[in-house]
Amino acid sequence: MASFYAAETPERVKKAQLTLTKGLHLITSLTPNGRKVHILLEELKDTYGLEWMISLIDLDKNEQKKDWFLRLNPNGRIPILIDNNTCPPHVVMKSSAELLYLVNLADKDNIFCKCNIIFLGIMRTKALVYDVLEIRLSGRYGGGTREYLAGQGQGKYSIADINAWAWVRNIRRIGLSENELAPLPHLQQWVDRIAARPAVERGLGEWYDEDVHPELLLETA
């Protein structure tokens, strides 16, 4: 481990494999990309009992640009997922890649991967995303209304939903008028449906409150 991690790497990161039976460690922050990986980890814990740990990066202090972090992810961006089961540990970068890595690693019953890869990249066209999701969920061009983005019939909850929901969950709080929201009824229902899942509630909860969990915050001099 000493040769893999930089000397100034926080002890919580270096010792992750010693404190967990599964050795999965998410280093994240309060962003849509960071939260969606956390949400999937919570879902996998509920379904399979998957073990993992989480640590938080203070983006305001540019902790993600320090040498120890850049050694793990040269892009200097969160989240990063470290799998300490391998030797040396395996670092996964980019949230969509992390979602796919986790379902390949732990979703043995293929519950969360009923998805088309297009829905993992859909947020790259933000100007169109609300309309695209509304069309998909409404079944406007055939197939009937859907509860989830991917899968047959009404769809099945998957990482496609987690990936998109993390970005559009605040649709009612971003200043859209009632007239602008009115054409998006299926999207609004879908947002509420995903938000009601216990794992999603935990993925948005007290983990990110430094006063409640100060031990999760990674800080170096």
Q: What is the full per-residue pLDDT of the chain (221 aa) written as tens digits?
A: 446 788 888 887 877 656 655 579 999 988 888 889 999 999 999 999 999 988 888 888 888 999 999 999 999 999 999 998 888 889 999 898 999 999 999 999 989 986 554 455 544 444 468 888 999 999 988 779 999 998 889 999 999 999 999 888 888 776 667 887 888 999 999 999 999 999 999 988 766 655 555 666 676 65
pTM of the shown model: 0.79
Helix (H) or strand (E) holding 83: strand 80-83
- CATH 3.40.30.10 maps onto the chain at 11-112
Question: HSE of 206 in the Cβ direction (CA atoms, 13 Å)?
Answer: 5
According to DSSP, the residues that pair with 82 across neighbouring strands are 25, 91
Decide yes or no: CATH 3.30.1440.10 for domain 11-112.
Answer: no
Query: Residue 168: its pLDDT value, please?
Result: 87
Residue 196: per-residue pLDDT: 95
How far apart are the C-alpha atoms of 5 and 69, rounded to whole Å?
9
DSSP one-letter code for 142: T
- Say if residues 219 and 50 touch (Cβ distance below 8 Å): no
Buried (b) or exposed (e) across 58-68, using 16+ Cβ within 10 A?
eeeeebbebeb
Fold of 126-200: Glutathione S-transferase Yfyf (Class Pi); Chain A, domain 2 (1.20.1050)
- At residue 123, the pLDDT reads 45
Residue 220, pLDDT score = 66
User: In the chain, which segments carry CATH 1.20.1050.10?
Assistant: 126-200
